Amino acid sequence: MNQNDSLIYGQTLTSTGDLFQLSFFRLNNSSAKGYLGIWYCNLTPQEGTVVWIANRNNSVDTSIASFNLTSDGNLILFEEDKIVWSTGTRSTELNSARLQLLDSGNLVLNDSNSIIWQSFDHPSDSQTYLPGMKFGFVKRTNTSRRQVSWKNSTDPSPGDCIHMIRALPIPDLVIFNGSAKYHRSGLWNGYGFVGYPSIASNQVTNPANYTFVSNENESYFMANYRASPTPVLIRSTLWANGTIQRRFLDRGGNREWQLLSSIPADECDMYNLCGRNRVCTKKYVAVECQCLDGFVNITENGREAGCEREKPLNCSLNQFSKVQNVKVPDTENATPQGNMSLDDCKNLCLDNCSCVAFAMIIGSYGCITWSGDLLDLRSLVDEGDDLHVRLAGELDHPSKNNTGRRILFIVISIAATLLFLCAFFIYRQRIKATTQRQKRHADHKDQHEIRGAESLLFDLEAIRIATDNFSDRNKLGEGGFGPVYKGTLENGEDVAVKRLSSTSGQGLDELKNEVFLVSKLRHKNLVRLLGCCLESEEKLLVYNYLANTSLDKFLFDNSKREQLDWAKRFKIIEGISRGLLYLHEDSPVKIIHRDLKASNILLDANMDPKISDFGLAKLFGADETHGNTKRIAGTFGYMAPEYVIHGLFSVKSDVYSYGVLVLEILIGRKNSGYQGSEYPIELVTHVVWCHWTQGSALQVVDQYLVEQCQAQQILRCIHIALLCVQDDPIQRPTMANVVLMLNNHFVDLPAPLAPAFLNNCNITIESNGVLRRENSSGSKRILMKISENSVSISVLDPR
């Protein structure tokens, strides 16, 4: 639509891909009254499908209304000669403005220099939110971008319900019904708001990725489609009753909107349902409201109003009660304190007499303290954070004291047993070298360090019962440090028990790493450690049981691989990248995993990936960038060249392993390679590189994926993986860049250089698919041959 063009009833401005249309529409066919708006092509304009309205406050007579783009760059809606609505804009150049409707649903007015106006900057002109919209507020202009419901299904004027981000030091999403809070999202945890349900469904898996930005200029939430062009459409609608529903439409299937999620999801999602200082827990058919420890129920006007302190705080002799896995309280009376240790956050709260609770929000706000009453608390199953509530004096809960005494008795008994064993072994081994005695002393010290961790101690007998005395029937698999068993605890919870081998010299080191690392980490894509056990000679780690075990069980099994369609594989690729990004940049300490491989990626019932096995992981300080070691440990085929050859490791070592793993996911083959006289040859990596340079990379991709017609997205993933496995670690992207490249198809990718080991090994790949290595005398020998139309590989020189 160009200057001096106009639009009248019956005429339409359509987006390039025929996804959206701008036109006049009527909600009541018996009346000429109507509106100018945007809705989905080939669908009837109705409540929920209309994504933007210019004149939602005032209807017009569509028989005499017109929509005009003036020569000076202003959009005006006329009802005959009366101006009903206008953008009030002006172009810098006369007759240069142009109006476009994009496939995102955004109506954009621009000139040759810039965007003059766009509908995505005015989401409050609709009750529907679309991917690509910024949803939040601009601090310097004090303007808000929010959803406002319709009054009802036939009246699009602003209703009573508003969905917005509050302009607070710790912002979160809130639905208001009038002036009353109806629902609160909870804090951003790095991949979503903790109080919002997952948007995954059986029909479509994670069709969008989500970001949240909060800085000195603005705070906003944004969704973006993962694929371009997107195979689905997504919309989020705020209804007149305060409910938000997220729906999707499969562009390749029927034209019916399917429900992704609904908010509030249950009664506990209703704002502060249980009252102050209470935790709301959703049971099977009911809701349970329970006072925090140290609080008692109160009533006001004959009704329960929440809880108050049993003993008032006196700013001395205080302790803290930890409430695990909760949506932390309303942040209106909360203060962000910045990144610090858990102990520093606790001491900061103790030093402030008005501080009643604190929490450490890892990867987000760091230490947060609260004053006043704690509002809108609810328990969560697998997410949430730990809230530390300040109390005066000792808790008076006999059952909990008994539990504490029982745990103390167990710890003392175990410690006494270990001391006896240590004394016995010292007596028996006096004739051994001093170095051996020092090693025993170090092991003994490690055991005590483990007991000092804040992890739950499991009773050995309980684990024996849960695993049927480590029965082979319950054996899930076996790694380098011992077998893993499925078990069922007395409360019915399924767990996975890693039993570290008594013959493994690194067993205690691994246990120490797992306890100290995993117990302090909290991310959707990391395995969750429930606790540990160190009794007799057993060294056990207890994790959440994940129904689908590990990725390699599917990926390298011809009968199971087809269960991994493209949507599932991309979700796994993207999930692993987010888990690594958390370890490298967003966790309290920088962590290098060092053993990323398919067997260390566990899959839950929804096929969401969880990075596991932190036995070889290394902690880095904030200013550290790399380390080195003389003891190379890991898995050939996944280890970066600088680590294999020189013992150097960094975040880029994990990036290399990630790239190998992505190629395995795309191809469905292990990267285990030929190990020649000096350097290994990684088969999959070099096969892909050979075909990439010849422009035939899809030939080596799992044909089951190619048949799903996702060629562009698959090739982009190959491109990203090849960037990750480049020889020079400096050339490899960071995981932050990988996440960006996976989720934003407008980011240009640099050309990848040759994979690692290729130059070191003096390998050439000939046009007929033969790989040769040149030796010191200049002669070449054949290493393997790649077939032209499949991924089959033949090793021709096994020496």
Domains of the chain: 1-121 (2.90.10.10), 269-396 (3.50.4.10), 430-544 (3.30.200.20), 554-795 (1.10.510.10)
> Binning pLDDT at 50, 70 and 90, where does residue 403 land?
low
Per-residue pLDDT tens digits for 736-780 = 889 888 887 767 788 998 886 554 444 454 545 455 555 444 554
**Residue 657 confidence (pLDDT):** 92
Q: What is the mean pLDDT of residues 717-732?
A: 91
- Strand, helix or coil at 741? helix
Q: What is the mean pLDDT of residues 338-365?
A: 88
**By the 8 A CB rule, do 208 and 225 touch?**
yes
What is the helix (H) or strand (E) element at residue 108, kind and residue range? strand 107-110
Question: Which of 55-59, 477-481, 753-757 has the least mean pLDDT?
Answer: 477-481
How are strands ordered across the β-sheet holding 173-177?
147-152, 155-165, 173-177, 180-184
Q: What is the mean pLDDT of residues 92-118?
A: 87
Q: How far apart are CA 340 and CA 580, in angstroms?
A: 22
Highest mean pLDDT among 163-172, 346-355, 500-509, 643-652: 346-355
Which residue has better confidence, 394 or 213?
Answer: 213
What's the sign of the alpha-carbon dihedral 561, 562, 566, 568? negative
What does pTM read for this prediction?
Answer: 0.54
Q: How far apart are CA 565 and CA 793, in angstroms?
A: 24
Segments in 315-433 forming alpha helices (H) = 342-350, 398-428
Site of tokens 């949507």: 567
Instruction: Give the amino acid at 182.
Output: Y
Q: What is the mean pLDDT of residues 507-524?
A: 66
Which residue has better confidence, 613 or 758?
Answer: 613
Per-residue pLDDT tens digits for 499-512 = 877 655 445 655 66
**Helix and strand element counts for the chain (H, E):** 13, 52
**Residue 169 confidence (pLDDT):** 85
Q: How far apart are CA 409 and CA 362, in angstroms?
A: 33
Q: How far apart are CA 550 and CA 552, in angstroms?
A: 6
Which residue has better confidence, 172 or 518?
Answer: 172
Question: Is residue 481 scored above 60 in pLDDT?
Answer: yes
Among 540, 458, 546, 550, CA closest to 495:
546
How confident is the prediction for the chain on average, in pLDDT? 79
**What tokens appear for 761 in the block?**
């090994």
Question: Which of 55-59, 345-349, 350-354, 770-774 has the least mean pLDDT?
Answer: 770-774
Q: How far apart are CA 28 and CA 34, in angstroms?
A: 8
Question: Is residue 341 scored above 60 in pLDDT?
Answer: yes
Which residue has better confidence, 663 or 533?
Answer: 663
Per-residue pLDDT tens digits for 554-583 = 988 888 888 899 989 999 999 999 999 988
**By the 8 A CB rule, do 166 and 146 touch?**
no
Q: How far apart are CA 67 and CA 22, in angstroms?
A: 10
- Strand, helix or coil at 554? helix
Give phi and psi for 288, each to the nearest 5. -115, 130
Asked about 385 being catalytic, the answer comes back as no
**By the 8 A CB rule, do 657 and 596 touch?**
yes
User: Exposed, middle or buried, 679 (CB in 10 Å: 0-12/13-18/19+)?
Assistant: buried
Q: What is the mean pLDDT of residues 125-144?
A: 85
Q: How long, in residues, is the chain?
A: 799
CA 539 to chain CA mean position, Å: 31
> Binning pLDDT at 50, 70 and 90, where does residue 790 land?
very low
The Cβ of residue 59 has, within 10 Å, a number of other Cβ atoms equal to 23
Per annotation, catalytic residue among 373, 385, 595, 654: 595
Which residue has better confidence, 371 or 213?
Answer: 371
CA 350 to chain CA mean position, Å: 33
Per-residue pLDDT tens digits for 657-673 = 999 999 999 988 887 64
What's the sign of the alpha-carbon dihedral 240, 241, 244, 248? negative
**Residue 114 confidence (pLDDT):** 85
Question: Is residue 404 scored above 60 in pLDDT?
Answer: no
Question: Which of 155-169, 409-423, 512-526 has the least mean pLDDT?
Answer: 409-423
**Residue 757 confidence (pLDDT):** 58
Question: Which of 296-305, 310-319, 578-587, 701-710 has the least mean pLDDT?
Answer: 701-710
**Residue 796 confidence (pLDDT):** 36
**What tokens appear for 600 in the block?**
């260390």
User: Exposed, middle or buried, 301 (CB in 10 Å: 0-12/13-18/19+)?
Assistant: exposed
Segments in 529-640 forming alpha helices (H) = 551-555, 566-581
> Binning pLDDT at 50, 70 and 90, where does residue 787 land?
very low
> Binning pLDDT at 50, 70 and 90, where does residue 287 land?
confident
Highest mean pLDDT among 67-76, 615-624, 756-765: 67-76
Q: What is the mean pLDDT of residues 536-549?
A: 83
How are strands ordered across the β-sheet holding 75-79?
6-8, 65-69, 75-79, 82-86
- Strand, helix or coil at 697? helix
**Residue 127 confidence (pLDDT):** 87
Question: Is residue 183 scored above 90 in pLDDT?
Answer: yes
Question: Which of 83-97, 478-492, 625-639, 723-737 has the least mean pLDDT?
Answer: 625-639
Q: How far apart are CA 611 and CA 604, in angstroms?
A: 11
Highest mean pLDDT among 97-101, 510-514, 792-796: 97-101
Q: How far apart are CA 650 and CA 630, in angstroms?
A: 15
Residue 325: which region, alpha, beta or left (left: phi > 0; alpha: psi -120 to 50)? Answer: left
